Homo-oligomer: A and B are copies of this chain.
Amino acid sequence: MKIMDSSKQEVVQALKNAKITICVIGLGRIGLPTAAVLADAGAQVLGVDVNNEVVEQVNSCKYGFEDEPGLNQLIEKVTEEGKLAADIDTSAAVAKSDVVIICVPTPVGRNKVPNYNPIIEASRNVAKTLRKDSLIIIESTVGPGTVEGLIIPLLEKQTKMTAGKDFGIVSCPERASPGEILHHLRTLPRIVGGIDTRSTEAAAVLLESALGIQMIRVGSPKVANAIKLTENIFRDVNIALMNEFAILYEKLGVDIMEVIDACATKWNFIPHYPGAGVGGPCLPVNSYYLMEEGAKIGYIPRLIQMAREINDKMPKHVITLVEEALKDVGKLICESKIAILGVSYKPDICDLRMTPIECIYNHLKERGVSISIYDPMFKGRNVFQTKASETLAEAVKGADCILIGIAHKEFRNLDLEALAKLSNMPTVLVDAGRVVMKDKAREHGFLYRGIGASNET
């Protein structure tokens, strides 16, 4: 169908009659669910990924996410109905599509500079076969101005078409949170900002019709990306603030968790929690997209920069807690066995992307520490350069230190008595997830240290 200038009624009808073909490029944690919900809404969806293994697994219903409720069933359903098919050839899929959605990752390099190669590569392939009057929706998060300054010129040059006139293009950054992707895709309002109002309107009408969500129309792709970055940087800075409070309150003998719970009774406070660091594909990198744009015009957002520094230093703080606690029970860290419980970057998801626990692991490894890992999401699987234990007991056996890396639900009811027996007492319990009560840990003979806990002995 001709998606540009279509009314909501026409889009609803087209979805009903399977007359819209959408190409979704990048079948990761955002792209694949996006493809699935659009297919479920009636669109004919062509999924594209550069990884052939992913393509084959999607087509044979063997791919999915064990930590996304309802998602795998949905993927299976739409694949079996023939509504979703994956391919490795972007240009072939784009040639058949009314709408192209770009969901490729936008990581930062080692030097903390955004790496736009995946989105540039995707755009190049899109340009080869982009149809006139089609619509490009960029879900990948990029720096404000990157769509206008980098992607559109590239597309226009290669297609010899004019954005706005010959094809529509918008930024519509995803806002869904891993572990709740399906729910969020179908309920959260989405921000959409196009190169012109015609593009904005076309994308808004499509997603409103397909997903039943509220669309927030903004002035440009630049503004849409500024919004996405502001949301995430807000979280990164507030986590950094709580990390800073946590370190200070440890020393002042105040428990940050008691503080946060009480603050949350005020109408204008929103809780964030300290931890071993900040991981995932967004928060640790989004600030750098903005800092890059700032650097171009000579303005360094120093608060945002410092928040990143603070969060990046939290793994080191955890190691300090471990080392000092071990010293307090007369053990040397390099001669100790440490059981790390929980390695994912946030609770109850099966995702290691940029997890701060990896920094902790690597640092301990370098110092010759003997490490075991247990994570309910990674039982017996390869994690970092080691194999995770099948059971909690196996990991904790003989440990001098139990380090709770992340607050998985399972860890909220740890059998401390059993852990005390299994471990090599006197054992240190370092709680970066703040899931164990200090008093209970002490009752069972552990030396307890928690991030932001009042750590008097």
**Interface residue ranges, A against B (CB under 8 Å):** 144-145, 175, 188-189, 191, 214, 216, 218-219, 222-223, 226-227, 230-231, 233-235, 237-238, 240-241, 244-245, 247-249, 251-255, 258-260, 262-263, 265-270, 290, 293-294, 297, 299, 301-304, 306-307, 310
Q: Are B290 and A248 interface neighbours, CB within 8 A?
A: yes
Cα–Cα distance between A270 and B269 once the two chains are bound (Å): 8
Pairwise interchain contact B145-A259, C-beta atoms closer than 8 A: no
Cβ–Cβ contact B265 & A216, under 8 A: yes
Whether A303 lies near B227 (C-beta < 8 A) is: no
Q: Are B254 and A223 in contact (CB under 8 A)?
A: yes
A200 to chain B, nearest CB (A): 13
* Shortest beta-carbon distance from A316 to chain B in Å: 15
Q: Which 10 A-B pairs have the closest CB atoms?
A: A189-B265, A270-B270, A227-B262, A226-B254, A244-B301, A251-B297, A231-B263, A244-B303, A216-B262, A227-B259
Chain A residues touching B, majority SS? helix
Cβ of A259 and Cβ of B230 under 8 Å apart?
yes
A299–B245 CB distance below 8 A:
no
Query: What are 21 A-B contacts defined by CB distance under 8 Å?
Result: A216-B262, A216-B265, A222-B252, A223-B255, A226-B252, A226-B254, A227-B258, A227-B259, A227-B263, A231-B266, A233-B241, A237-B237, A238-B238, A241-B303, A244-B301, A247-B299, A248-B293, A248-B301, A268-B270, A270-B270, A302-B306
Q: Do the beta carbons of B227 and A234 come within 8 Å of each other?
A: no
- Cβ of A297: which chain B residues have Cβ within 8 Å of it? 251-252
Which of A214, A253, A266, A297 has the most B CB atoms < 10 Å from its CB?
Answer: A266
